[in-house]
Amino acid sequence: MEQQEPPPNSRRDEPRVSAPPRATEGTALYVHLPFCAAKCHYCDFFSVPDEGQDIDGMIAAILREAEVRAPARPRTLFLGGGTPSLLSAGQLTTLLDGLQEITGWRGSAAEVSAECNPESLDLDKARCLLDLGVPRISIGFQSLDDETLKLFGRVHTATESFRAYESARTAGIEHVNVDLIYAIPGQTADEWSADLGRVLDLRPDHLSAYNLTFEEDTRFKRWLDRGRLEAAEEEVELEMFHATRELASSSGLVAYEISNHARPNEQCSHNLNYWRNGEYVGIGPGAVSKVEHTRSGNPRSISPYLRRIQGHGHATEWSETPGEVARVAECWWLGLRLQGGVDPAEVARTAGASDAAIEVSVTLATRLVGDGLLERSEARYTLSEQGLPLADAVAREFLQRLPQGVD
């Protein structure tokens, strides 16, 4: 729930942070729409229940921020949240037509995506999105078990998920991703494989399958700490991980990233840019940007975001420029999630790094090859079969060890 604002006479003006560098033409654009029908118990993204919220006012603020921050002619546009499909047809039209006037995205974006939840995606909404220029959507199934959906805090059923998928296809949407979560408390590997098989029978173009994580400041983490929930055993989670890759592959979906699987030419270009540590601009409350080597973010709260927009035209709350070694570590951390792995020469270009910094990272990578966690093929380093299910731990090696130097 949104934190209560202090009384007006006790408020202090937010410290002013200069707007980050203006992104160049063609930079990826992300729009964060924070409203949901209900807050999911596992979710640590910034979102608030939509009841009583001024959605029209938020759209106006986002468009004002776009005038100051959004790149011209973005190469990708992604509507996330939150639940963009919660917006009415009129609100979606105002937002997307407004962004068109500001950025010209309809003439430049090779990929346009919107996140949708089953309870707010019917045939009319799917047709509206497509008519407005959104040919790719991601539907949050999350689970096919209604009791699990209640545990998650979701407000839809499995039947509604399948109905939403059918609506998207009937409307003519040709690029559909399905989101699923596995390693749920009490879930068996056989149950997961059966549910995944039902989804794959739909022949989605893209699958995002994530193991359940217990993030700080979520209801699930509090329940875990109190013993109300019990995390899945590592052996069961590992079995589910391998089953996901095998079943997806047999259905024609290649694992191009640790948790993401796609048919040929159906990879999410917007997210590939993140994993390659490219530049992007995020607008809306809680959105994060990376322009040149500077990262910045907006308030994860509605009222401070709106006040900053009203006062400054942008909502930047924090800004930082990581040092050379940290930039190199981030490139390895993100890039190793990809099937194609990491090329140190590409890291040097992306991070603007010296030969010395790259050499330190290659020393660590070589050590991990010796440990059996990475493989080297010509100039590229990728996760080995042993390292794949340990991707997060391998990534932490770079984030933790590189800033300290490698012995």
Contact 163, 118 (CB under 8 A): yes
* Omega cis (within 30) before 227: no
| Residue 96 tokens, joined | 């997307």
- DSSP sequence for 165-224: HHHHHHHT--EEEEEEEES-TT--HHHHHHHHHHHHTT--SEEEEEE----TTSHHHHHH
Q: What is the architecture of the domain spanning 24-275?
A: Alpha-Beta Barrel (3.20)
pLDDT attached to residue 403: 79
In degrees to the nearest 10, what's the CA dihedral of 388, 392, 393, 399?
A: 130
CB contact at 8 A, 180 and 142: yes
Could you identify the residue written with the tokens 């921050």?
A: 69
> Hey, where are the domains in the chain?
24-275, 324-404
Tokens linked to 98: 């407004």
Share of the chain above pLDDT 70, in %: 95
Q: Express each pLDDT in 92-149 by its tens digit.
A: 999 999 999 999 999 999 999 999 999 999 999 999 999 999 999 999 999 999 999 9
What is the pLDDT confidence band of residue 406, given thresholds at 50, 70 and 90? Answer: low
Residue type, 21: P
pLDDT tens digits, 245-294: 999 999 999 999 999 999 999 999 999 999 999 999 999 999 999 999 99
Q: What is the DSSP letter of 22?
A: P
Q: Where are the beta strands (DSSP E) in 23-106?
A: 28-33, 35-36, 48-49, 76-81
Could you tell me which CATH number the domain at 324-404 has? 1.10.10.920
pLDDT (0 to 100) of residue 16 = 63
- Decide: helix, strand or coil at residue 128: helix
Neighbour order of strands in the sheet with 175-182 = 254-257, 260-262, 206-211, 175-182, 136-142, 111-116, 76-81, 28-33, 280-283, 288-291, 294-297, 318-320
Please provide the distance, in angstroms rounded to a whole number, between the alpha carbons at the two ends of the chain: 46
| Residue 9: band (very low, low, confident or very high) from pLDDT cuts 50, 70, 90 | very low
Sign of CA dihedral 291, 292, 294, 295: positive
* Residues 219/41, Cβ–Cβ less than 8 Å: yes
String of b and e for 357-369 (b: at least 16 CB within 10 Å)?
bbebbbebbeebe
Distance CA 73, CA 70 (A): 9
Mean pLDDT over 297-318 rounds to: 96
> Is pTM, for the whole model, over 0.85?
yes
C-beta separation of 205 from 176 below 8 A: yes
Please say whether the beta carbons of 33 and 84 come within 8 A: yes
At CB < 8 A and 24+ separation, what contacts does 159-162 make? 160/118, 160/119, 161/118, 162/202
* Mean pLDDT of all residues belonging to the chain: 94
Cβ neighbours of residue 341 under 8 Å, at least 6 residues apart? 335, 380, 381, 382, 383
Q: Compute the distance between CA of residue 23 and CA of residue 29 in angstroms, rounded to an integer.
A: 10
Element (H, E) at 95: helix 89-103
Closest CA to 335 of 382, 400, 402: 382
For the stretch 314-356, pLDDT in tens is: 999 999 999 999 999 999 999 999 999 999 999 999 999 999 9
Q: Which pLDDT belongs to residue 215?
A: 96
Q: Which amino acid is at 341?
A: G
Whether residue 179 contacts residue 139, with contact meaning beta carbons closer than 8 Å, is answered with: yes
Q: Strands of 233-338 (E only): list them.
A: 254-257, 260-262, 280-283, 288-291, 294-297, 318-320
Asked if the model's pLDDT at residue 87 lies above 90, the reply is yes
